[in-house]
Structure 1
Amino acid sequence: MDTTCKLGSVEILLPDASTSYFLIDNDLAELFKLETNNEAIKLLRKTVREKIEPYLYKRIGFDYESSAVIIRTTNAELILEIAIVINELANANLSAEEINITKNRLISHKRPRKQKWKVGDIFQIFLEDGSYSFGQVLWKNYTQPVCGLFDINKNAVPTLEEIINNPFISILSLTSNSLDNHSWKVIASMNVRIHKEDVPEEFNGTPSIGARSFTSGILEDLANAFYGVSPWNVLADADYFDQILLPTVTRPPTAKVLALSERNLYRKGKKWD
Structure 2
Amino acid sequence: MNVLVLLAVILFILMALVGGKKGIKSFIALFLNFIIIIVTVLIMNDPNANPVLLTLVACVFISAISLFYINDINNKTALAFAATIVTTVFLLLFILIITEKSMIQGFSEEESDSLTIFSVHIGIDFVKVAASVIIMSTIGAIVDTAISITSPMREIHQQNPGITRKDLFMSGIRIGRDILNTSSNTLFFAFFGGYLGLLIWFKDLDYSLGEIINSKVFNDEMITILTAGMGVAIVIPVASAITAHHLVLIKKKKK
Fold match (TM-score > 0.5): no
Select the structure with the greater relative contact order (CA < 8 A; seq sep ≥ 6): 2
Q: Which has the higher helix share?
A: 2
TM-score (norm 2): 0.24
TM-score (norm 1): 0.23
Q: Which has the higher strand share?
A: 1
